Amino acid sequence: MKFLDLTKVFIRSGSGGNGCISFRREKYVEFGGPNGGDGGRGGDVWAEAVEGLNTLIDFRYQQHFFAKNGQAGMGRNMTGADGNDIILRVPVGTEILDEDEETIIADLTEVGERVLLAKGGNGGWGNLHFKSATNQAPRRANPGQPGVERELWLRLKLIADVGLLGLPNAGKSTFLAATSNARPKIADYPFTTLVPNLGVVGVDGVEFVVADIPGLIEGASEGKGLGDLFLGHVERSAVLLHLVDGSSGDPVRDWRTIVDEIEAYGEGLADKPRVTVLNKIDTLDDEERTFIANELTEAGAGQVLLMSGVSGEGTVDVLRALRSQIDEDRLRRKPAPEEDEPWEP
């Protein structure tokens, strides 16, 4: 499935049906009168967050969503049928923005959350409503109200507990593959990851979601490389996991590059808790590990954990450090394994 996190849609609610001008003309009925019914209400346009989606790719192939118009009223006091509503089903974490791509109309962060995007027009009154003592045969009816037409943007920000940060080839995808059932692409060249990946990791009986985004490079905030296009997917994270490649020529410079880019991005990312990890320690001896970790600490990284995503060394300690930064209400308890009942002859 292709990944798409920003798309434009065109919506229009249904127009109300026109009121009816009608009079009774029945055999053997001495006195007639107006009996025009009201028009039906136009359909609304809704957006709803649903389970099972993590991309907006469906909206690439269908971008126009029009609700049904209400039917016109009819004689014999019959009201026209209401137009059917239309629902845009979007992934959890979708922001709905106005045409200016800045004004946020709604932020759907929970399954089942709904928002009304365009209300359908009311149906017009039939001539029955205009009957009075001085106007026994009104020949007027109201037209239905027109629907609302809008252009909106849908922007997806994935719901994850942990956001993975690092330069290209820092080992983010390897870490995700080693600790979860996710299978991101792994290769020995930069920008292997082109779209965000999600994985569910578990430690000490609890599970949480980790989001791996494409690597940042120096100048990403100015559009270099893939830019900071995907940083929005870690905005909702409780904690950031910053991986530093221990086998690079200058790990401290690599660490500073990522810190500078998230500070330039803003949106509160620089203020989030961060766990800094020196990765690929399987390529370093004990003296090199200690030296680089101390350099990172002196540069301002705080406590630095050691890990190798390939060999698995230190991964449990990293997961426990992440767990300690996540609120209990965001954690999910692992289901207990079912025990087989003893066989009885």
3-class DSSP assignment, residue 40: coil
Nearest Cα neighbor of 150 from 113, 105, 83 is: 105
Q: Annotated binding site for GTP, which residues?
A: 166-173, 191-195, 212-215, 279-282, 308-310
Annotation: binding site: 166-173, 191-195, 212-215, 279-282, 308-310
The contacts of residue 151 (CB under 8 Å, 6+ apart) are: 8, 9, 10, 11, 99
Q: Which residues pair with 150 in a beta bridge?
A: 11
Cβ(204)–Cβ(135) below 8 Å:
no
**Which helix or strand (DSSP H or E) is residue 7 part of?**
strand 6-12
Helix, strand, coil % in the chain, rounded to nearest 5:
20, 25, 55
Q: Which two tokens stand for residue 56?
A: 């907006």
Do residues 171 and 306 lie in contact, with contact meaning Cβ atoms separated by under 8 Å? no
Burial 98-109 (b: 16+ CB within 10 A, else e): eeeeeeeebbbe
Closest CA to 233 of 267, 186, 185, 278: 267
Q: Which token pair is 282?
A: 């399987």
Which residues are known binding-site members for Mg(2+)? 173, 193
Distance CA 270, CA 256 (A): 12
List 89's β-bridge partners, or say none.
48
Q: What is the C-alpha to C-alpha distance for residues 244 and 252, in angstroms, rounded to an integer?
A: 8
Q: How far apart are CA 91 and CA 104, in angstroms?
A: 16
C-alpha dihedral over 276, 280, 282, 284, to 10 degrees? Answer: -80
Q: Measured between alpha carbons, how far is 168 from 182 in angstroms, rounded to an integer?
A: 19
Strand partners, 279: 245
The DSSP letter of residue 313 is T
